């Protein structure tokens, strides 16, 4: 059986992870009796954690809100998860590198030696550009503005930025008036942050890249949440071909028409590629790589017919690979 201190730490972690817990549930998760759970609850209260009794037929407990909580406690897995999160967040959110480094250093100082060694063994290093995320990091102010609108269920008004991050001038041909949408979900996928929203003008559900959003002053106008056209927001984002994406910057950029529906291609296309539906069963995929052969190899993974291959360099690379594979599969002839 776990020691009292470790069990109390695990109990605190469970209470923080969910609003209400039945006493029997906690006992089952901890592998102890309900009497032991009640004793551990009293231990947490003596330490200053406001554990409240939850009302209901089964009774139970919840961790109450308070501004004078003792310092946070983490179990081993939580500490490792937080340390890794602090190292990866600055890659997608601009301006947090120094703050994240200071927070990680603070966390290391209060860790036992064995955990510090584990964290140090997982120090992340910035890789060359070809492995970095295919979207520019976003500003904390933008992320906060969009996140607050999602959390408060307030209409979000914003300008849609160009691919280079600039705001179109009203005199430009590509100028569009500000958008006003109902923000529903924030999603991180393939190194990019996306907003899933509902456009009340036409009842559509567009997806916007957060790094392409320039929020206006908060509207403060509430809206009633609607139901997504897909039960899973993750699946909706992954299978949507229109995610406001633009091709990532690569030395080689090419495209081809695949004989697959857009939703299927979008699900497996690399980050930074563009998926365009041609017909219900055909899709144009535009993507980049370090070489034309690299693009040809990615296209081959979709295991379907390819047509309208552009540009000519990519067409040549496909022919070269086909001949190379043909030679590789021919039986060797003994002299």
48, 82: one domain: no
80, 48: one domain: no
DSSP per position, 12-38: HHHHHHSS-B-HHHHHHHHTS-HHHHH
Within a domain: residue 132?
A: no
Q: What's the pLDDT score for residue 92?
A: 63
> Domain range holding 122?
76-126
Mind listing the pLDDT tens digit of every residue in the chain (335 residues)? Answer: 456 777 887 888 788 777 788 888 898 988 899 899 999 999 888 877 888 887 766 668 888 765 445 556 667 777 777 777 777 666 566 666 677 777 777 777 767 777 777 676 565 544 333 334 456 677 778 888 898 899 899 999 999 887 777 777 778 777 788 999 999 998 887 677 889 999 999 999 999 988 889 999 999 999 999 998 877 888 888 888 787 777 667 889 999 999 999 989 988 888 778 899 999 999 999 998 889 999 999 999 999 999 999 999 999 999 999 999 899 888 776 65
319, 233: one domain: no
Q: What's the pLDDT score for residue 213?
A: 92
Distance (Å, whole) CA 130 – CA 157: 34
> In whole angstroms, what separates CA 145 from the centre of its chain?
17
Within a domain: residue 192?
A: yes
Length of the chain: 335
Q: Among residues 79, 85, 127, which one has the least CA distance to residue 107?
A: 79
Answer positive or negative: Cα dihedral of 301, 305, 309, 313: positive
Within a domain: residue 70?
A: no
The pair of structure tokens assigned to 191 is 């190194």
Given 192, 214, 239, which residue is the final one in a domain?
239
Within a domain: residue 263?
A: yes
184, 227: one domain: yes
User: Does the bond joining 311 to the residue before it have cis omega, within 30 degrees of 0?
Assistant: yes
Triad 268, 272, 274: Cα angle to 5°: 70
Question: Cα–Cα distances in Å, from 2 out to 6, 9, 29, 33?
Answer: 6, 11, 12, 13
Distance (Å, whole) CA 90 – CA 100: 7
Roughly what angle, to the nearest 10 degrees, separates helices 34-46 and 23-30? 100
152, 212: one domain: yes
Please state whether the predicted TM-score (pTM) of the whole model is above 0.85.
Answer: no
Distance (Å, whole) CA 65 – CA 199: 36
265, 303: one domain: yes
Assess contact for 157 and 165: CB atoms under 8 A: no
Q: What is the CATH number of the domain that holds 15?
A: 1.10.10.10
11, 53: one domain: yes
104, 183: one domain: no
First CA to last CA across the chain, in angstroms? 72
Distance (Å, whole) CA 198 – CA 228: 9
Within a domain: residue 134?
A: no
198, 163: one domain: yes
Give percent helix, percent strand, percent coil of the chain, each to the nearest 5.
40, 20, 40
Within a domain: residue 10?
A: yes
Question: What is the tens place of the pLDDT at every residue in 202-218?
Answer: 999 999 988 889 999 99
β-bridge pairing 213-215 and 274-279: unpaired
Assess contact for 26 and 37: CB atoms under 8 A: yes
**How many domains does one find in the chain?**
4
147, 209: one domain: yes
Q: What's the pLDDT score for residue 94?
A: 63
Within a domain: residue 246?
A: no
234, 146: one domain: yes
Within a domain: residue 247?
A: no
CB-based contacts of 294: which residues, under 8 Å, 6+ apart?
252
Answer positive or negative: Cα dihedral of 15, 20, 23, 28: negative
196, 160: one domain: yes
Q: What's the pLDDT score for residue 224?
A: 94
Q: What's the pLDDT score for residue 177?
A: 86
Q: What is the CATH number of the domain that holds 264?
A: 3.30.70
């Amino acid at each position: 059986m776990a020691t009292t201190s470790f069990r109390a730490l695990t109990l605190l972690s469970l209470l923080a992870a969910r609003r209400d817990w039945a006493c029997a549930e906690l006992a089952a998760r901890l592998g102890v009796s309900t009497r032991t759970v009640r004793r551990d609850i009293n231990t947490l209260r003596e330490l200053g954690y406001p554990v409240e009794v939850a009302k209901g037929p089964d009774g139970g407990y919840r961790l109450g809100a308070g501004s004078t909580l003792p310092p946070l406690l983490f179990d081993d897995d939580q500490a490792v998860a937080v340390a890794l999160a602090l190292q990866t967040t600055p890659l997608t959110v601009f301006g947090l590198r120094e703050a994240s480094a200071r927070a990680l250093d603070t966390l290391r100082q209060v860790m036992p030696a064995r955990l510090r060694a584990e964290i140090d063994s997982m120090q992340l290093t910035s890789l060359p550009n070809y492995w970095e995320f295919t979207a520019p990091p976003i500003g904390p102010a933008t992320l906060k503005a969009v996140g607050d609108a999602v959390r408060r269920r307030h209409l979000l008004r914003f300008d849609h930025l160009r691919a280079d991050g600039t705001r179109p001038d009203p005199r430009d041909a590509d100028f569009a008036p500000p958008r006003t949408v109902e923000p529903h979900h924030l999603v991180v996928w393939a190194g990019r942050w996306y907003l899933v929203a509902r456009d009340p003008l036409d009842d559509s559900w567009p997806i916007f890249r957060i790094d392409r959003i320039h929020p206006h002053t908060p509207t403060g106008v509430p809206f009633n949440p609607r139901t997504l056209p897909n039960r899973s927001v993750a699946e909706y984002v992954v299978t949507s071909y229109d995610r406001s994406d633009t091709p990532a910057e690569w030395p080689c950029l090419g495209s081809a028409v695949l004989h697959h529906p857009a939703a299927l291609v979008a699900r497996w296309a690399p980050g930074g590629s563009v998926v365009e539906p041609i017909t219900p069963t055909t899709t144009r995929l535009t993507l980049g790589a370090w070489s034309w052969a690299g693009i040809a190899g990615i296209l081959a993974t979709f295991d379907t017919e390819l047509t309208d291959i552009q540009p000519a360099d990519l067409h040549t690379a496909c022919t070269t690979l086909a001949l190379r594979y043909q030679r590789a599969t021919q039986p060797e002839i003994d002299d």
